[in-house]
Amino acid sequence: MKIFVCIKQVPDTETKIKVAADQNGIDTTGIKWVLNPYDEIAVEEAVKFKEKNPTAQVWAITSGPKTRAVESLRTALAMGADEAIVINSDEKLDAISTAKALAATIKAEGGAHLIFTGKLAIDGNQSSVPQMVAEFLSIPHTSVVSKFENQGESVLVERDVEGGAKEVVQMMNPALIAANKGLNMPRYASLPGIMKAKKKVIKEVEFSSLGVSATEQKVKYVQFTLPAEKPAVKLLNGDSSAQAAELIKLLRDEAKVL
């Protein structure tokens, strides 16, 4: 019983982002790469599943530049994943090509009983890959999941939607679950876990071997820019009554948002 976890390596949120000279991407020199925070939650849920279902094997999979992407796989292994696969690919692949590559690799490995992913990779801000992987594998998916229960033939999950509402969803297996915050608290890797992960042989697949051609890329990002500098804050003086009155005046007459 194979449980796949799709993970992505992203710049740490504390990292300062600089735009590359050609403006077609970011300048990656000096960036600290980490496992996407939602993918940590996905790994944790997969490992928890394995702990309750001894026949389950957790396979972490990522698509990205091999030399650095393997680090995120080692993190997943240290947290308890059993096997890891890296699809060596360009870092500027769009969602659909990434999803095709992931789906093709999962298929080639004999398919999944369950697939866990994050709900969002914090670099591209898309929330697309999970739904696409599910479609390419013709399996059901639920995204933004904050509760998971295994029911054998099916799974029962809770999905967070607008206004604080929750949808309770049942999916027949195999199914894909995209994790939101609140699903669990990811564990810290143990020292023996880290040692074991270091020695693990990571399976490598070349993106070019998967039959996903470059013309299948549908979206390209150009003209990277930093946000415009905000003018300095206008501080309001006087006692609290004066400040309140002044603020309302500014919001109405200057900013025109009331």
Ligand X SMILES: Nc1ncnc2c1ncn2[C@@H]1O[C@H](COP(=O)(O)O)[C@@H](O)[C@H]1O
Ligand Y SMILES: Cc1cc2nc3c(=O)[nH]c(=O)nc-3n(C[C@H](O)[C@H](O)[C@H](O)COP(=O)(O)OP(=O)(O)OC[C@H]3O[C@@H](n4cnc5c(N)ncnc54)[C@H](O)[C@@H]3O)c2cc1C
Q: Interface residues with ligand Y (CB under 6 A)?
A: 13, 37
Note whether 185 binds another protein by CB under 8 A: no
Say what angle helices 66-79 and 191-199 make with each other, to 10 degrees.
140
Cα three-residue angle 201-205-211, rounded to 5 degrees: 165
Which residues from 189-218 bind ligand X, rule CB under 6 A? none
Note whether 195 binds another protein by CB under 8 A: no
Q: What is the DSSP string of 90-107?
A: -TT--HHHHHHHHHHHHH
Closest CA to 93 of 114, 124, 58, 130: 124
- Shortest distance (Å) from residue 87 CB to ligand Y: 26
- CB-nearer residue toward another protein: 110 or 163: 163
- CB-nearer residue toward ligand Y: 11 or 25: 11
- Strands 9-11 vs 33-35: parallel, antiparallel or unpaired: antiparallel
- CB-nearer residue toward ligand Y: 13 or 241: 13
Note whether 75 binds another protein by CB under 8 A: no
Show contacts of 124-131: CB within 8 Å, 24+ apart: 124/95, 126/95, 127/178, 128/95, 128/96, 128/99, 129/6, 129/95, 129/98, 129/99, 129/102, 130/6, 130/176, 130/178, 131/178
Note whether 117 binds ligand X by CB under 6 A: yes
Note whether 14 binds another protein by CB under 8 A: yes
Residue 121 backbone zone (phi > 0: left; psi -120 to 50: alpha; other: beta) = beta
Note whether 115 binds ligand X by CB under 6 A: no
Indicate the residue whose CB is closest to ligand X: 118
Task: Report the partner that residue 248 touches, choosing among ligand Y, ligand X, another protein, none (CB closer than 5 to 8 A by kind).
Answer: another protein
Note whether 80 binds ligand X by CB under 6 A: no
Q: How many residues are there in the chain?
A: 258
Binding segment for ligand X (CB under 6 A), chosen from 6-14, 191-199, 231-239, 249-257, is 6-14
- Shortest distance (Å) from residue 179 CB to ligand X: 8
Task: Report the partner that residue 156 touches, choosing among ligand X, ligand Y, another protein, none (CB closer than 5 to 8 A by kind).
Answer: another protein
> Are 67 and 8 spatial neighbours (Cβ–Cβ below 8 Å)?
no
Note whether 64 binds ligand X by CB under 6 A: yes
Integer angstrom CA distances of residue 28 from 13, 73, 199: 14, 20, 27
Tokens 């999916």 correspond to what residue? 171
Which residues from 133-162 bind another protein, rule CB under 8 A? 134-136, 139-144, 146, 156, 158, 160-162
- Which residues make up the interface to ligand X (CB under 6 A)? 6-8, 36, 38-39, 42, 62-64, 95, 98, 102, 117-118, 120-121, 124, 126-130
